[in-house]
């Protein structure tokens, strides 16, 4: 039995990269308090004293924030409340304020309105995986310290953050569309564009936790329809869109073509490598082969790594990489910045790249090879089977002598292109993707995925969402 001073989290809420759940069902203010108690205890035992706390625009966020702060204070930790804003603003507070030893953002990211959760930074490093499980074990055991209570104070950091975003921005007059999707990035974008040269057209910058206009997930092309209309009507140079907490970017060019995460990374890589020749640039295992080839062609060192923003950030620290990105729109700049994923900063780096390289965003998108690829396909598999299936696939491919990269699942290269099958770290799904230079080649790759699934007693069947 748990002690009176203890807490059991819902088993689905403690995930690989964050804590997340459905408010009132798998997540509530008691969870928030327990997170504050466990995180605060852990920080206090390593000499930490202060945690920056921020929250997104979801209706449940203020209640969870209040409980989290109470939990931190009861563990002897001071809370610096920076208020409502995007996750990268919280990361900025943690990275730039000397007296802050950790950070927690209350956010449901790109999930539906009834979700919420917590993203954490611990003494300058990502807090994920075993760290999150440890919070759960500490809460269940009531392993919480209760020294003299900490204090809570407020600090308005948004103007400082906006000024930092503007560093290095060239004085050039692009015409840009910005779609905040009623997410937490809206107020920052409003302040930012007032200080920028050029012409800026804003969509849905008012924060609304119900997301009345469209779901804030720029990896879903349907959510970019409003931005495409705006860019077409106003004849803008390009448009950018953001997820619910502002750490993932979407973009379209002046012709309304989506510039996916790995294509944005091609643009950023060309710009960065002109300044840092030979640098290592990291992308996740779902990225196009065209990206890896382009980085090598530009003289950089491409490095394929596991999907997941915390995993990518850790690999950047290990390798000293100045730039990394994921298909999901997380982009990480250590070059001239802090190394965390900040979609608003990524939008400004797109402006810088275009200005410095002397090429429009549309031209750079047009210069990329047209690959034929699938979207990310997700399909249900029993939690107990998902990793086992990948092991079975890898064993069969090894026996066949296939050209396989097993960094994160199975990524198989063939004469037609490549296909990927991996287990999601956060859901009971397998993720598949394939890319070829022809439709016939893509069909052959999909047939190989189907054959591997069938050999493990599964069918591709219906795909499921995020």
How do strand 410-414 and strand 19-22 relate by DSSP bridges? unpaired
Catalytic residue among 109, 254, 310, 328: 109
375 vs 260: CA distance, rounded Å: 11
331-333 sheet: strands from edge to edge: 301-305, 280-284, 323-325, 331-333
- φ, ψ of residue 216 to 5 degrees: the values are -85, 75
Burial (CB count within 10 angstroms: exposed 0-12, middle 13-18, buried 19+), residue 324: buried
Sorted by sequence, the CB contacts under 8 Å of residue 374 that are 6+ apart come out as 432, 433, 434, 435, 442, 446
First to last CA, the chain: 35
- Supply the angle between the helices 343-357 and 186-194 in degrees, to the nearest 10: 30
**109 annotated active-site:** yes
CB atoms within 10 A of CB 206: 13
Q: Angle CA(165)–CA(155)–CA(151) in degrees, nearest 5? A: 140
Cα dihedral value 412, 413, 416, 418, nearest 10: 50
The catalytic site residues sit at 109
């Amino acid at each position: 039995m748990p002690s009176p001073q203890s807490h059991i989290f819902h088993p689905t809420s403690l995930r690989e990269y964050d804590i997340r759940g459905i408010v009132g069902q798998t997540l509530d203010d008691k969870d928030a308090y327990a997170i504050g108690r466990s995180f605060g205890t852990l920080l206090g035992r390593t000499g930490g004293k202060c945690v920056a706390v921020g929250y997104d625009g979801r209706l449940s966020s203020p209640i969870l924030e209040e409980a989290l702060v109470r939990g931190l204070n009861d563990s002897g930790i001071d809370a610096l409340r920076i208020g409502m804003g995007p996750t990268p603003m919280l990361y900025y507070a943690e990275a730039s304020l000397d007296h802050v030893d950790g950070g927690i953002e209350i956010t449901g990211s790109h999930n539906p309105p009834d979700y919420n959760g917590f993203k954490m930074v611990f003494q300058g490093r990502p807090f994920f995986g075993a760290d999150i499980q440890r919070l759960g074990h500490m809460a269940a055991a009531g392993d919480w310290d209760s020294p003299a209570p900490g204090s809570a104070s407020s600090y308005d950091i948004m103007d400082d953050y906006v000024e930092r975003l503007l560093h290095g921005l060239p004085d050039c007059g692009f015409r840009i569309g910005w779609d905040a999707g009623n997410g937490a990035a809206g107020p920052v974008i409003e302040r930012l564009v007032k200080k920028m040269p050029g012409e800026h057209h804003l969509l849905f910058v008012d924060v609304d936790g119900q997301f009345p206009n469209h779901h804030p997930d720029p990896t879903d092309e349907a959510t970019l329809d409003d931005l495409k209309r705006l860019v077409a009507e106003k004849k803008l140079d390009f448009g950018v869109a953001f997820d619910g907490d502002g750490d993932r970017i979407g973009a379209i060019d002046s012709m309304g073509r989506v510039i996916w995460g790995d294509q944005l990374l091609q643009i950023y890589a060309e710009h960065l490598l002109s300044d840092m020749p030979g640098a290592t640039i990291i992308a996740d295992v779902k990225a196009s082969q065209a990206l890896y080839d382009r980085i090598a062609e530009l003289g950089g060192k491409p490095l394929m790594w596991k999907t997941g923003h915390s995993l990518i950030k850790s690999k950047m620290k290990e390798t000293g990489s100045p730039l990394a990105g994921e298909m999901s729109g997380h982009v990480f700049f250590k070059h001239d910045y802090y190394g965390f994923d900040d979609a608003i900063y990524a939008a400004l780096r797109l402006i810088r790249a275009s200005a410095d390289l002397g090429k429009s965003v549309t031209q750079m998108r047009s210069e990329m090879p047209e690959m034929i690829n699938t979207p990310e396909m997700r399909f249900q598999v029993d939690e107990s089977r998902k990793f086992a299936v990948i092991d079975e696939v890898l064993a069969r491919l090894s026996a066949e002598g296939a050209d396989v990269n097993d960094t994160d699942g199975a990524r198989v290269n063939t004469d037609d292109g490549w296909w990927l099958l991996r287990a999601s770290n956060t859901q009971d799904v397998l993720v598949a993707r394939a890319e070829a230079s022809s439709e016939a080649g893509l069909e052959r790759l999909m047939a190989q995925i189907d054959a591997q699934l069938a050999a493990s007693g599964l069918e591709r069947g219906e795909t499921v969402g995020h």
